[in-house]
Structure 1
Amino acid sequence: MGIEVGGLLGLIWLIIVVWAIIKVSKSSAGGLSKLLWILVLLFFPLVGLIVWFLLGPKG
């Protein structure tokens, strides 16, 4: 049962990170800023997502 729960949580986490990347790409920020946020989200998913929620583009 542990594998199924871990797989489900991993899938949910992947969906959240993909959602954040889509939100960044659709934001009104500059191109370099978008690229940096996407790289942070890809290379540091947990920390990047938390930082993006706190400091990322609003609205």
Structure 2
Amino acid sequence: MTTLFIQNIGGGSLLMLFLVGLYFALWIYCLVDIVRSEFKDSNMKLIWIVIILFAQLIGPLIYLVIGKGTKSRNFT
């Protein structure tokens, strides 16, 4: 039954399903990275979580471009 379902899905649908899965993985990666990281300002963790949750389409991309620079560089 599963193979019949997959055969009936067109190529565009599979591509869309792949892109949604990839985006969801990126979203989860960003949230986990925020929770596990130390930031220079203690409020930045909460701010980035709010940005990721409320700006769902662009939030993870903004975090990857800008957010990495707001992390603390302490490796002790």
TM-score range with shorter-chain normalisation?
A: 0.7 to 0.9
The farther-off stretch of 45-54 and 12-21 is 45-54
Identity %: 21
Question: Which one has a bigger Cα radius of gyration?
Answer: 2
Give RMSD over aligned pairs.
1.7
SS in 1 for 2:58: helix
Counterpart selection for 1:45 from 45, 50, 56 = 56
Q: Which has the higher helix share?
A: 1
Give the TM-score taking structure 1 as reference length: 0.77
Gaps of 5+ in 1: none
Task: Kindly report structure 1 stretches of 4+ aligned residues shifted beyond 6 Å.
Answer: none
Give the TM-score taking structure 2 as reference length: 0.63
